[in-house]
Homo-oligomer: A and B are copies of this chain.
C-alpha cells in the first residue's frame, strides 16, 4: 500500500475510528469511466463530517449564531475504485485539536473490509456574527477529543 503522509501506521490509524455513517453509491455519482467520479467522495466526506460534528455535541445546529465551522482544506486519497450501488461505511474521527481549529480524518470501508478512501481536512471554528475564528473552549475541545 502506498505512503500517505497523514497516516503513520495504517493499522493503528484505522483502529481509532468509531463513528461512521452508511453511504450507498448513487448512479449519478458515477462517471463515464464506469466508477465513482472523483468529486463524489467529497460529498460523502461532507455528509459524514456534519453528522460527526453533531454527534460530538460541538454544534447541534448548522445555523447556530454562537459558533460555526468552516472547511479550511480537504484531501482525499483514492485507494480503490468504487462502483455504483456499493455500500460504504464512511468513518470520521478527530485527529488533533488546536486553538480555534481541528483536523478531521476520513476513511471509507467497502463491504469486503478494504479501505476505499482515506482523507483529512482542517476545520476552523468561527463566530458567524463576526466572521472571525474564535477559540474552542476546553469543554468544546474535550467533546472533539473523546469522539
Contact = CB atoms under 8 A, between A and B. Distances in A.
A78 interface: yes
Contacts of A13: none
Interface in A1-34: 2, 4, 24, 26-28, 30-34
Copies in the complex: 4
Given A73-B76, A78-B71, A39 B28 contact: yes
Interface of A: 2, 4, 24, 26-28, 30-35, 37-39, 42-43, 46-47, 50, 62-63, 70-78, 84-85
A74 B32 contact: no
A98 B111 CA distance: 33
Contact of A77 (B28, B73, B77): B73
Contacts of A62: 27, 32, 84-85
A127 to B, nearest CB: 14
A50 to B, nearest CB: 6
Could you say which of A28, A34, A62 has the most chain B C-beta atoms within 10 Å of its C-beta? A28
